[in-house]
Structure 1
Amino acid sequence: MKKILFLIIICQFSCKGQEDCPQGINLLPMYGEVKKCKQQIDSDKNFILESEKKFGDSKKASEYYVSKGWEYFYDNDNETSMKRFNQAWLLDNTNSQIYWGFGNLLGRSNKFEESLKFLKKSIQIDPNKPEVYESISVSYGQLFYKTKDAKFLNLRLENLKKAMKIEPRNGRVLGEIANTYAYLKQKDSLIKYIKKTDEIDSKFVNPEVRKLTKKK
């Protein structure tokens, strides 16, 4: 009887320990920024030690997991992608690519406002990545479609121009600037950026947007 009682007590402590561990946090950016249980903390420490042993240092290990994060992202495996970016974050939370990954994954899940926090963090660490400004502009564009608030169009335009400043001959960015001016109904700027885009590649301008230049 005492042995059975002892086993019940052990089970209660074990179950209590599992209950204290937040579940599903590896599917949230930065593990949801929640307090982890001892088991999870110990597991993280072991993961970091093993990764440093395998790759030489934590930054190199982080780069590897970032590459895996993008690999799964482009395979449309969002859950595994988030897990890999989280592992990269554990190893080196100064890696700007991680926050770009978090932001893009949230955007893909239609969590555009949440995505901005991480995309801005990526820019804060490395302000010279035009593709991150493009991602920010996408989130602002989607917020405009959702709210019809023109302030989001202006923020979209602001970030597209930051991307253009870094990469002046990016036809995709120039085309998106033209498209944004179409929504803002600023015809002179629309014509200007259609011409700039056409100098690189005319396919980046929506044919419907071109028609707007003909209207009086």
Structure 2
Amino acid sequence: MYGRAPKCPEQVRADTEFLAACDKQFPSRKLASEHHVSKGWEYFQQRQLDTAIMRFNQAWLLDSTNATVYWGFASVLGMRQQYRASVPLFKKYLALNPTEANAWQGLSTSYGQMFFQTKDVALLQNSIEALKHCVKLAPQNARAYGQLAGAYSYFIQRDSARKYLAIADRLNPSAVNPEVRKMLTQ
């Protein structure tokens, strides 16, 4: 799925062999997909992004309805600084599973990085909206509140930035970027 390129005969044969092996090893392709998603996240955490993408692709081949595959693809793209490409995949995952706070935070990060590249305020607003979804779902997420404080610090109205700074400080003061803190406390 990830490359969206036509497969050569060797790749088709490899896919067929992979599916046959999984059919023997797992009671269902759905369970096999979950296993490969789990492996994808393990490699992602180890920063082995090529292997993580391979595992997410295998999981997608087994079950293209596995929403977590799209979050995995989006996360790898974000890690590779391909933020614009990550957004539709985050959105696809969130359309299927809108209650995952960490995915909202990942989407926000992609929008935020795009804002830093372009200075397009609409992207910053999208980042803020995604963070608001995140903290609604995970009200103890100090890092998300710290990110909200940072995002709002770019607007002239600093009251929201200070509000989220106070919440982040209550939860975990180290969750706030020191530069944001300095800017808001001057």
Aligned-pair distance for 1:109?
1.7
Partner of 2:115: 144
Contact 1:197/1:204 (8 A) holds in 2 = yes
Aligned-pair distance for 1:212?
3.0
Change in CA separation of 1:204 and 1:185 when aligned onto 2, cut-off 3 Å:
farther
Contact 1:153/1:184 (8 A) holds in 2 = no
Partner of 1:115: 86
Contact 1:68/1:81 (8 A) holds in 2 = yes
Partner of 1:207: 178
Structure 2 spans left out of the alignment, 5+ residues? none
- Match for residue 145 of structure 2 among 174, 189, 193: 174
Contact 1:134/1:160 (8 A) holds in 2 = yes
Equivalent positions of 1:34-113 (< 5 A) are: 34-113=5-84
Contact 1:94/1:125 (8 A) holds in 2 = no
Q: What fraction of aligned residue pairs are identical, expressed as a percent?
A: 42
Aligned-pair distance for 1:59?
0.9
Aligned-pair distance for 1:38?
4.0
Higher relative contact order (CA 8 A, sep 6+): 2
**More divergent stretch after superposition (104-113 vs 150-159):** 104-113
Structure 1 spans left out of the alignment, 5+ residues? 1-29
Contact 2:2/2:73 (8 A) holds in 1 = no
Partner of 1:185: 156
**More divergent stretch after superposition (155-164 vs 63-72):** 63-72
Aligned-pair distance for 1:110?
1.7
Aligned counterparts of 1:214 and 1:91: Cα–Cα separation in 2: 52
1:192 counterpart letter in structure 2:
K
1:63 counterpart letter in structure 2:
E
TM-score between both structures, scaled by the size of structure 2: 0.93
Contact 1:69/1:80 (8 A) holds in 2 = yes
Aligned-pair distance for 1:36?
2.4
TM-score between both structures, scaled by the size of structure 1: 0.81
Aligned counterparts of 1:119 and 1:190: Cα–Cα separation in 2: 25
RMSD: 1.5
Aligned counterparts of 2:19 and 2:155: Cα–Cα separation in 1: 49
Which of the pair has more CA radius of gyration? 1
Aligned counterparts of 1:104 and 1:214: Cα–Cα separation in 2: 33
Aligned counterparts of 1:84 and 1:62: Cα–Cα separation in 2: 9
Aligned counterparts of 1:214 and 1:163: Cα–Cα separation in 2: 25
Aligned-pair distance for 1:200?
0.9
Aligned-pair distance for 1:89?
0.4
